[in-house]
Amino acid sequence: MDATVEKKLQDLWKLQQIDSKITNLHALMGELPMEVADLEDEIVGMETRVQHINEELEVLETEINARKNSIKEFQRNIEKYDEQLNNIKNSREYEAITKEKEIAGLEIMGAEKKIRETGKIAEAKKEILDKTKEDLESRRKDLEYKKSELTEIVKENEEELNKLQAESDKAAASLDSRLARAYGRIRTNMRNGVAVAPIVRGSCGGCFSKIPPQRQSDIRAHFRIIDCEHCGRILVDQSITGIEAQVEVKEEKTTRRKMRLTAKAE
């Protein structure tokens, strides 16, 4: 066992863990503004809806006013017909004016009916408007809260990021420059920013490709730094990471039990 290689692997793993925390924190900080943006979009949608309902109500109002005006017009006509009926010349004229008066009366009744119907539609729209305004108000409060929360979290995360970055710089400085460059290069090429991967159930923890048993024992031997044949990540075993130990112990037990069962069966 090469103590120098082992130390290098430990340093690499330590650096990877710090850098993974940085990557995760960046991802988290990217999601928070999106939540605020979603809420802002929702509010804009509701404001548009309120505006549309208001416009529809205005149209209905105009319609009702026009009908009220036409009722007044018909009423004035009826008064005119009544005057004419007082100075009637013959029965034909009487019938004609009476007919006109009747029509005007029917027009008024029709207009009043339409006003009642339009009024009902307007009433229903006003209810929707009130509800939407209420929802809008509560969403605005949510947004205000989310924004202040976001400011707070961003501040905290930035402090945490600065701390982690300092740790990362320190950990990177303890590597020799060639190794640090290689680490940086692999990390940049990996979408999840993982350059150092543990062996997980005999596979690369980065790309999940199987690692041949001989290569696995070479990795465990710490004679040299070994990368994954498929993705190029540097591979480390459980003695470096401390993880997976439990999984392997469990698997070993299961295997032993299976072997016992097989023996019994035979």
The one-letter amino acid at 100 = E
Q: How many residues does the chain have?
A: 266
The answer to the question of residue 194 lying near Zn ion (CB under 5 A) is no
Answer for which of 46, 154, 200, 207 binds Zn ion (CB under 5 A) is: 207
Answer for which of 18, 129, 228, 240 binds Zn ion (CB under 5 A) is: 228
Is 198 among the residues that bind Zn ion (CB under 5 A)? Answer: no
Task: Tell me if 182 contacts Zn ion by CB under 5 A.
Answer: no
| Choices 46-54, 70-78, 127-135, 201-209 (CB under 5 A): range interacting with Zn ion | 201-209
Contact residue for Zn ion among 19, 108, 206, 237 (CB under 5 A)? 206
Instruction: Enter the tokens of residue 116.
Output: 């009642």
Q: Select 104 or 194, whichever has its Cβ closest to Zn ion.
A: 194
Q: Does position 235 bind Zn ion by CB under 5 A?
A: no
58, amino acid identity:
E
Tokens 């060639």 -> residue: 178
Shortest distance, position 266 Cβ to Zn ion, whole Å: 39
Nearest distance in Å: CB 6, Zn ion: 21
Task: Compare residues 133 and 215 and give the one whose CB is closer to Zn ion.
Answer: 215
Q: How far apart are alpha carbons 86 and 262 in whole angstroms?
A: 121
Separation CA 248–CA 252 (nearest Å): 6
> Which range binds Zn ion by CB under 5 A, 44-52, 79-87, 93-101, 199-207?
199-207
| Site size with Zn ion, rule: CB under 5 A | 7
CA atoms of 132 and 149, how far apart (whole Å) = 25
Rule CB under 5 A: say whether 204 interacts with Zn ion.
yes
Specify the stretch interacting with Zn ion by CB under 5 A; choose among 32-40, 120-128, 164-172, 228-236.
228-236
CB of 197 closer than 8 Å to CB of 228? yes
- Binding part of the chain for Zn ion, among 20-28, 67-75, 188-196, 205-213 by CB under 5 A, reads 205-213
Q: Which residues lie across from 199 on neighbouring strands?
A: 204
User: Side chain identity at 9, as an amino acid letter?
Assistant: L
Closer Cβ to Zn ion, 18 or 228, answer by number = 228
230: contact with Zn ion by CB under 5 A = yes
Least CB distance to Zn ion at residue 141 (A)? 48
Closest to Zn ion by CB, 64 or 207? 207
By C-beta, is 8 or 233 nearer to Zn ion?
Answer: 233
- H helices of the chain, where? 3-86, 91-173, 177-189, 213-221, 238-241, 245-265
Q: Does 231 bind Zn ion (CB under 5 A)?
A: yes
Buried residues in 75-112 as b, exposed as e (16+ CB within 10 A): eebbeebeebeeeeeeeeeeeebeeebeebeebbeebe
What is 186-234 written as a DSSP string?
HHHHSTT---EEEEETTEETTT--B--HHHHHHHHHTSS--B-TTT-PE
Q: Which residues bind Zn ion (CB under 5 A)?
A: 204, 206-207, 228, 230-231, 233
